[in-house]
Chains A and B, each alone.
Chain A
Amino acid sequence: MASTRQISADPSARFETHAATREAPWVKWTLIVLALSFFALFLLMPLAAVFAEALRKGWSTYFAALVEPDALAAIRLTLIAAGIAVPLNLIFGVAAAWAIAKFTFRGKHFLITLIDLPFSVSPVVAGLVFVLMFGAHGWFGPWLGENDIKIIFAVPGIVLATVFVTFPFVARELIPLMQAQGREEEEAAIVLGANGWRTFWHVTLPNIRWGLLYGIILCNARAMGEFGAVSVVSGHIRGETNTMPLQVEILYNEYQFAAAFAVASLLALLALATLGVKAWVERRAGGARRAARDGASS
């Protein structure tokens, strides 16, 4: 019983059980060995090397590097930047998905393309645009200088750059999901007398919760890990405007390899946690989809 369930849980069984859709064993295993060797060489080894290098000088050096004041300041700044950027883009993403998925209007496809734009812009250019706007020689530079407001080479610039690069994440997860779900359920709720917010909280939100979570964790991973854009606007002031990835760079360029990899290992753990939650959400969402389909067919 358990074994049949396991086979049916792996969709590749439908290919492997038919002579017409399977390859000779030597072909299969050659392909698997080649693909997995590539996978190990380009993905597993870089991941393993982070932890190996971090622990090369032992656990005490490792922990000393993490509680060092500049490292702690970098961790704090990374948490602040992500803590501002993710909620802002969450609100925007839900609003954008609501407008795009639940209503018809002209120029919708163009709007979706514009929302995706930050994904196709080089991170360095993303940082540069804010220097051009708010830097000392930028459009608002003189005015900001007169009023003693610092954006570039300060925390607001880092937050702005982070918001820019993480802009599309939540919206692009939610738009296709909410489009697929249609608007009948919400319309029914409205017709039955619920107001807009009630409808959103009790009808829409439960339907999109996995997609929302998925978008948030990807958005957060990028927000905490962004390097290029933040590097341009940060000014690299130790203990003040260094995020964790920038701290990694500084330590590395000072040949403090063990310390650089120690901070990097925290970011690698964050990446692994992100992938873990992502896989879990995908299985939950996939399971919900399967259940809905089975329910509909029976």
Chain B
Amino acid sequence: MARTTRVLPGFGLALGLTLTWLSLIVLLPLASVFLKASSLSLPEFWSVVSAPRVAASYRLSFGMSFAAASINAVFGLMLAWCLVRYRFPGKRVVDALVDLPFALPTAVAGISLTALYAKNGWIGQYLEPLGIQIAFKPLGVMVALVFIGLPFVVRTVQPVLEDLDTEHEEAAASLGAGRWQTFRHIILPVLLPALLTGFALAFARAVGEYGSVIFIAGNIPMVSEITPLMIITKLEQYDYVGATAVAEVMLLISFALLFVINGLQAWAAKRTGRDR
């Protein structure tokens, strides 16, 4: 590696500060999870993390996160498309408010969604006669996760759409392609990596989400308990080892998702870079 003389000062100080702070606040605390969980033998660990109630929570967390991220992929793409391609009244306000789930504390979102979807709520009162219950049911979990995940899809797709060259679309049109054909064969392939990245980001956030979900979920064992709640439940019973075992599973899943997301982002950068 060719080493050029550094003109700028402060490298040692800045990097030292960064590594120290990173180790103290993030790395050491996270390592404590793996240390604590290692006090269990492998069969013990397995019996904790595969207990029926915990397994039911994985099914709920992953199933609802997947459903919510899918809904967000469709409507997030639609919203990003409208924001980039069309002029309509109130657009600037809509664009700014898309980030609301990033800025609104999750507990506030949680109680507000519960109030909306309860039997007598603004939305719940119309669903009740149709036999659809959302608050305090597994569907409630999904509604909260849709709220939390929307900006991830919009904000990853939007910049790619903005940078899209119109040449390919014009070429397609001059060759007689309809708008749908052009979208399907020209635009969607370029958007796909960004769309999948947005989906994965929304999914990853949804799996770990706590605040917005617990109010609306009802938290019925085996039915509407999410995995982060299992950690809380075990902690409240002073079962630190059990809580840590479930936390370790969640951490490993987070790391796997982080790996996938990094791969998707690299793919997205390559695809859009080549097409530009």
Contact = CB atoms under 8 A, between A and B. Distances in A.
Please determine whether chains A and B interact with each other in the same assembly. yes
A150 interface: no
Interface residues of A, number: 111
A116 to B, nearest CB: 8
Interface in B219-256: 228-229, 231-232, 235, 240, 243-244, 247, 250-251, 254-255
B105 A36 contact: no
Contacts of A11: 84, 162
Interface stretch (B12-20, B50-58, B189-197): B12-20
Contacts of A267: 104-105, 107-108
B274 interface: no
B136 interface: no
B8 A120 contact: no
Given A122-B228, A128-B243, A46 B116 contact: yes
Interface in B1-29: 1, 4, 6-11, 13-15, 17-18, 21-22, 25-29
A34 B78 contact: yes
A19 B7 contact: no
B26 A118 contact: yes
Interface in B136-168: 143, 146-147, 150, 162, 166
B23 to A, nearest CB: 9
Contact of A275 (B15, B75, B97, B162): B97
Interface in B28-72: 28-30, 32-33, 36
A70 interface: no
A278 interface: yes
Nearest to A132: B32
A53 B121 CA distance: 10
B116 to A, nearest CB: 5
Given A132-B36, A167-B26, A274-B103, A46 B112 contact: yes
B53 to A, nearest CB: 16
B96 A92 contact: no
A224 B204 CA distance: 22
Given A13-B87, A264-B108, A271-B100, A128 B6 contact: no
Given A227-B210, A267-B105, 19 more contacts: A20-B170, A22-B85, A42-B150, A53-B112, A95-B17, A114-B27, A120-B261, A125-B208, A129-B29, A129-B30, A132-B36, A195-B9, A218-B103, A231-B210, A232-B232, A261-B112, A270-B103, A271-B100, A271-B108
7 tightest A-B CB contacts, nearest first:
A225-B105, A122-B208, A227-B211, A20-B173, A228-B210, A129-B29, A271-B103
